[in-house]
Amino acid sequence: MNEQDIFTKITEEFYWFHRHPELSYEEVETTKRLRADLAAAGIKVLDLPLKTGLVAEVGTGKAPFVALRCDIDGLPIHEESGLPYASEHEGRMHACGHDFHISTVLGSALLLKAREKELKGTVYLLFQPAEEAPGGAKKVMETGVLKDVQAIFGLHTLPIYDVGTLGIREGAVTASVDKFTVTFHGKGTHAAHPERGVDPIVMAASFVTAAQSIVSRNINPAHPALVSITHIESGNTWNVIPESSWLEGTVRCLTAADRELIKKRIYGLAEGQAASFGGHAELTWYAGPPATNNTPSWTEFAKEEAEKAGLKVEPAPVNLAGEDFAYYQEEIPGAFVLVGTGKSPANHNPKFHVDPKALGPAAKYMATLAEEALARL
C-alpha cells in the first residue's frame, strides 16, 4: 500500500470504529477488527495474555525497542453528533476520540511496515484496552512486553486546535487522578431532639466547606490542583436526623508532593471535623494514575519532528483530566502529544467530533517519531 492508500484505509476504519464503540474491557469486536487489519498487512501480533486490546510488532525484532500507544475504548454516552457514521451501539460513544487514536496508530503500523527494511530496531504498537476504566495501561505493563522499551509515545485528540496543530509540553500535560469516599458516623435522632443525637449532615457540610481551603490555603498558588466533592447522600425524610452521611469526590494535581499533601489534609479535615461534632469519619482512598511526565529530551525531539513535518507546535494546555499513559511514563521515558482535530465540543460531550482529515498527518507523524527514535537510540 502506498501512503495515499493507507490514508484512505484508515479513514474507512475510523468510520467503522466510530460506529462500533465498546466500553472498557469489552473491546472484543474492536480487537477482532484490528487483528484482521494487521493480518491483512502481514503485521505480527504478539501472543500476550490480554483479553481485549493487543500489541503488534514491526521492525527487526531486535533492540532498540520503542513503543507507540493508543487506547481503544468508548464511553457510556448517547451520541448526539448527527454524524452520518454515528454510533450504532445504543448508549455507547467514542466521545473521547479513541477511535481516532486507534486509526492513527493503525496507520503508523501500516506506514512503518512499508518501511520495515529501513527501521533500525523494533516498534511495538500498543492498542491498549480500558483507558477510561482507568488502568488498562497496567494490564499491558503486567504482560512484561515493555521491559526492553527505551522510549514510548502516545497521542490524544484535542478539539481546540485546528488540523495540523500539535500541543507538546515538557513535564505534565494531564493530572494525577485520585478518588475518595467519606462516611460520617453520627447518631440518629428525632429532628426535634438534636441534643439526643450527633448530626452527620452537619459534619459532611462542614467538611465540604473546609475542604475548599486545601487548594487555596495549602497549595502553592502557581500549582494547578483541585478538590471536587461531587456526590453526597444522607437521610430519607424531613423529620429524622440520620445515623450517617456519605460523600465522594476527586483530587487532581500535577506533582507527587501536592498529591500527598492534599490526601493528608483531606484525612485530617474529615476526621477533625467529625470529631469536633462528636462523631467519626471513615475514609477510603482510590489512587488512580499519576500525572503524565514528558521527558525533556523526547519532548524536544517530538517538537523538532513536528516542525520538520510542517506541523504547527503549540505549548499544550495543562489539563486536570487524567490519562493512564502516565503509568508507562513512570518506567519509560517518552512524550504524550496532543493532536488538533478541529474545533468541537469538549471530549466526553455527546456532540464531540473529530475531523478525519487529521488522521493521515497524525499517523505519519507518529510513525516518524518511532522510526527516528530508533535511529537515535
**Among positions 54, 96, 270, 338, the unique one binding Ni ion when judged by CB under 5 A:** 96
Omega before 76 within 30 of 0, i.e. cis: no
Nearest-CB residue for Ni ion = 96
Nearer to Ni ion, 338 or 363 (CB): 338
| Cell 490555603 sits on residue | 217
Cell of 65: 525497542
Beta bridge partners of 254: none
Nearer to Ni ion, 96 or 198 (CB): 96
Residue 268 burial (CB count, 10 A): 12
Cell of 200: 452527620
Determine the interface stretch with Ni ion among 62-70, 93-101, 178-186, 297-305 (rule: CB under 5 A).
93-101
Nearer to Ni ion, 98 or 113 (CB): 98
Nearer to Ni ion, 174 or 295 (CB): 174
How do 165-167 and 334-340 pair as beta strands?
A: antiparallel
The CB-of-78 to Ni ion minimum distance in angstroms stands at 18
45 and 113 in contact (C-beta within 8 Å)? no
Across the beta sheet with 44-45, what order do the strands follow?
A: 44-45, 54-59, 122-128, 65-71, 149-158, 334-340, 165-167, 312-314
Cell of 301: 525531539
Cell of 255: 506533582
Nearer to Ni ion, 108 or 347 (CB): 347
- The answer to whether 70 contacts Ni ion (rule: CB under 5 A) is no
The CB-of-232 to Ni ion minimum distance in angstroms stands at 27
Nearer to Ni ion, 185 or 348 (CB): 348
Determine the interface stretch with Ni ion among 90-98, 102-110, 181-189, 196-204 (rule: CB under 5 A).
90-98
279 and 186 in contact (C-beta within 8 Å)? yes
Q: 149-164: b or e for each residue (b if 16 or more CB lie within 10 Å)?
A: bbbbbbbbbbbebebb
Phi, psi angles (nearest 5°) of residue 193: -130, 60
Determine the interface stretch with Ni ion among 95-103, 193-201, 207-215, 279-287 (rule: CB under 5 A).
95-103
The CB-of-98 to Ni ion minimum distance in angstroms stands at 6
Can you tell me the distance from the alpha carbon of 17 to that of 94, in angstroms, rounded to the nearest whole number?
8
Determine the interface stretch with Ni ion among 55-63, 92-100, 138-146, 326-334 (rule: CB under 5 A).
92-100
Determine the interface stretch with Ni ion among 73-81, 88-96, 227-235, 302-310 (rule: CB under 5 A).
88-96
Q: Which of residues 284-303 bind Ni ion (CB under 5 A)?
A: none
Q: In angstroms, what CA-CA distances link 235 with 181, 182, 239, 244, 270? A: 17, 15, 10, 8, 19
Determine the interface stretch with Ni ion among 17-25, 78-86, 94-102, 144-152 (rule: CB under 5 A).
94-102
Using CB under 5 A, count the residues that bind Ni ion: 1
- Footprint of Ni ion (CB under 5 A): 96
